[in-house]
Amino acid sequence: MLLGTSRIFGIIADPVASVRTPEVMNRLFQELHLDAAIVPIQVDAAGLPAMVSALRLMKNLGGLVISHPHKAAMAAHCDEVSPRARAIGAVNAVRRQADGRLVADMTDGAGFVRGAEAQGVAIAGRRVLLAGAGGAAASVAAAVVEAGAASLTLTGPDEAGMREIAGRVRRLFPDADIRVGSPDPAGHGLVINAVSPYAWQSGVRAVDTSRMTADMVAADTYSIPEITPFLELAMRRGCKPHYGRFMLDSQIPLIADFIGAIPNHERSGS
């Protein structure tokens, strides 16, 4: 139940119906008996600046989760951005300070790697194909390289965006094998989709799934629907699916901690 004393958090996306964060985080608040709630906020790119300005004035706002397509744009609206998020060029977690200042970080990549490791999906030593050019793609790209991927190939419809990501990740890891390539997954052990289900449903084929084989792991960064169009096509080829919910579930504690959603005594379990 929301009260006048409740701390409010928000998740900004467009469309917002495709995000699972409110379900997961509100369940966490209930389990910890916290007087808090996270609410979905749908706003398009043109409305983002005005929305951010208004949220700065909301004194009972604890922070924000940022989802597609605002992760890169939101970085420019924050007063302080972590070195990791600045290098990646995108944010997904924003804490509102008492004076209205917005402080941001990016946890998608860490969440993906943690989720993969928890499910026994090896990244170290594997050749990785990553489809997408948004903020999540940039964060996951940096994280899998840091986790020891043998190589990283970026693919998808936005070649300029992919080249920008490749340049950012190379600056972080100058010796890494990073390239922009074709959607052909042949020769890759891990294929990651960071292109929205809506794009796939509209006919975008960011990965040539007809070339996928049963020895490949097909991973998605989107959690709704659980079996995304990409995963459905990959599973028809016999690939092992790695669902987007694993990335979200693994980073919820990171996000909640950063935006101050969990008090210190609850975080420590005391």
User: Which residues are catalytically annotated?
Assistant: 71
Helices 159-172 & 135-146 angle (0-180, nearest 10): 40
241/253 Cα distance (integer angstroms): 24
- Segment (H or E) for 95: strand 93-96
Q: What angle do CA 83, 84, 88 make, to 5 degrees?
A: 115
Instruction: Of 155, 250, 157, give the one whose Cα is nearest residue 199.
Output: 157
Residues in Cβ contact with 172 at an 8 Å cutoff, skipping those fewer than 6 apart: 87, 142, 145, 146
Beta strand pairing status for 93-96 and 61-66?
antiparallel
23/42 Cα distance (integer angstroms): 16
95/253 Cα distance (integer angstroms): 14
57/243 Cα distance (integer angstroms): 37
176/158 Cα distance (integer angstroms): 22
51/69 Cα distance (integer angstroms): 15
